[in-house]
Structure 1
Amino acid sequence: MPINLPIALTWLRIAMIPLIVALFYLPEHWLSMPMRDAVAAAAFIVAALTDWFDGWLARRWNQTSSFGAFLDPVADKLMVCAALLILLNLGRVDSFIALIIIGREITISALREWMAKIGASGSVAVHRLGKFKTATQMVAIPCLLYWQPLYGLSLQLLGQILIVIAAILTVWSMCYYLRRAWPEIRNKSDQQQA
């Protein structure tokens, strides 16, 4: 397993997940709810920024690796799913939206694994639609974690609008990847039947 700064940042993002979750189990006399929400939102933002920064560094310093390419999306999915479960528990996100987003992540991860196994991973390579979906989630989630107005702006409302947009983009990007993979799936199926 290669160790370099981009991979270390990805590991840091994974390590931050239990810390963010633990904030919501602290007694209120240790940390008030508004402070807890602010710290959780800030930690999520830092983790999301490491996602952008580790990829940028890996490309800039030519430190890309197959392990890093595997670990980075795993860290993203763990981070988003953990945050959605927290928000679901707090009643700040609808269970249907959480199910759509988490279900899509599992489906596309399984699809990419299978496509790599049959040598067709290029057909489900990351597309800008998936990146836009991720960016929308990464803005919506801290808004929903923070849940308080900020400089007169209702982050609660903004987060709720953005998470619905993220859910729509989630379905759209899933359909895009499935459509791209379908010819390879059909070819493989035809070869097995022949």
Structure 2
Amino acid sequence: MKLTFPTWLTLARIVMIPVLVLVFYLPYRWTNFAAAGVFILAAVTDWLDGWWARRYQQHSAFGAFLDPVADKMMVAVALFLIVQGHPTPWMAFWAAVIVGREIAVSALREWMAEIGQRATVKVAMIGKIKTTAQMVALACLLYSVSPNRAPTGIWLGEFVFHVGDWLLAIAALLTLWSGGQYLYAAWPALRADEAAAASRTAGARKAGKE
């Protein structure tokens, strides 16, 4: 298996996950800058590997599988760190909404792929807007809630935190909206499969009686 440049970028993003955890907890005053910087770099590689693959036609099955895995792992780990750094009910709720939706949509896509209708649940524009809001929110919050963050002034620190807090809430709501769109698009296939399963059950019962 030949690894393309976009796939190497995706692998680098996975390597950044333990780096993010490490710098988040390092006992130095600059760790909030480092944690936010690592996350921003990961987000840039996420954009770059997709652009490069489209621009130079370097698509691969392995890369297509690995890219969403790397994205979801990075987002989930960042959310866990943020909730640990700022353990409030609302922060935990928004994190649970985002992670729960990702699990549900991933399962839905996998099932749709099994029945040959993977394209039915493709990424919509609302999903891209959600991703942008989510990435900015997580970078702001990693900068704001790191345990050993450098003093940046009360006003600046509060401003960055509130920007991240509000954007995370917006991203979570957009997550529910886009998740609903995925479910709506897949609903005809879900109903058809349910009807087919009922028909098979009825046929088996009839054959058993005969």
TM-score bracket for this pair, using the shorter chain length: over 0.9
- Secondary structure of the residue aligned to 1:182 is helix
Equivalent position of 1:184 in the other structure: 189
Equivalent position of 2:132 in the other structure: 135
Equivalent position of 2:164 in the other structure: 159
Bigger Rg over Cα: 2
In 2: Cα distance, 1:152 partner to 1:189 partner: 54
Task: State the identity as a percent.
Answer: 48
In 2: Cα distance, 1:150 partner to 1:184 partner: 53
Gaps of 5+ in 1: none
In 1: Cα distance, 2:197 partner to 2:183 partner: 20
- The structure 1 residue matched to 2:40, chosen from 31, 41, 45, is 45
Equivalent position of 1:4 in the other structure: 4
- The structure 2 residue matched to 1:103, chosen from 96, 100, 104, is 100
Equivalent position of 1:68 in the other structure: 63
Equivalent position of 1:87 in the other structure: 82
Task: Give the number of the structure whose residues are more often helix, by fraction.
Answer: 2
Gaps of 5+ in 2: 145-151, 200-210
- Secondary structure of the residue aligned to 2:25 is coil
One-letter amino acid of the structure 1 residue matched with residue 196 of structure 2: Q
In 1: Cα distance, 2:189 partner to 2:153 partner: 48
- Secondary structure of the residue aligned to 2:59 is coil
In 2: Cα distance, 1:102 partner to 1:9 partner: 23
Matches within 5 A, 1:4-23: 4-23=4-23
How many residues align? The count is 189
Whether 1:55 aligns to 2:50 is yes
Kept in 1, the 8 Å contact 2:25–2:31? The answer is no
Deviation at 1:152, TM superposition (A): 4.7
Matches within 5 A, 1:28-39: 28=27, 31-32=28-29, 35-39=30-34
One-letter amino acid of the structure 1 residue matched with residue 186 of structure 2: A
Equivalent position of 1:144 in the other structure: 141
Equivalent position of 2:149 in the other structure: none
- The structure 1 residue matched to 2:115, chosen from 104, 115, 118, is 118
CA offset digits 1:123-170 (Å, max 9, x no partner): 101111111111111110010011156995811111011001001101
Give the structure, 1 or 2, with the largest relative contact order (CA under 8 Å, sep 6 or more): 2
Large movers: runs of 4+ above 4 Å? 148-153
Give TM-score scaled by structure 2 length: 0.85
Give TM-score scaled by structure 1 length: 0.92
In 1: Cα distance, 2:141 partner to 2:104 partner: 25
In 1: Cα distance, 2:153 partner to 2:75 partner: 22
